[in-house]
Amino acid sequence: MKTKRFIAGAVCPSCGTMDSVRMFRSETERDYRECVECGFSDEMEANPRLEGDLPEARIAREERILEDHTDIIRFVDGSQSKKQ
């Protein structure tokens, strides 16, 4: 029996749905991926090459948002003023 595992954060190249792609290894030791949303399926390359620019990731957008809205706060220790 094949064990199918979801790939966290993977986006289906066909329908664009995130977290719907799972992979499995066939009896011939080849890796496959399939989308549970649209039914897309293909064989994964053994040594894939990156072509073009990386897509913008959700985490990169969140970091940029946090950097734009940074406030500086100062903690004041009230116990120091009570001792004097």
Domains annotated for the chain, with CATH where assigned, are 1-44 (2.20.25.190)
In this structure, are residues 20 and 8 in contact, taking their beta carbons and an 8 Å threshold? no
User: pTM for the whole thing?
Assistant: 0.50
- Taking CB atoms within 8 Å and a gap of at least 24, the contacts of 9-17 are 9/57, 11/55, 12/37, 12/38, 12/40, 13/40, 14/38, 14/40, 15/40
pLDDT tens digits for range 58-67 = 665 555 555 5
pLDDT of residue 61: 57
- Are the CB atoms for 6 and 12 separated by under 8 Å? no
Q: Residues 20, 40: contact at Cβ < 8 Å?
A: no
> In which residue ranges of the chain is pLDDT below 70?
1, 56-70, 80-84
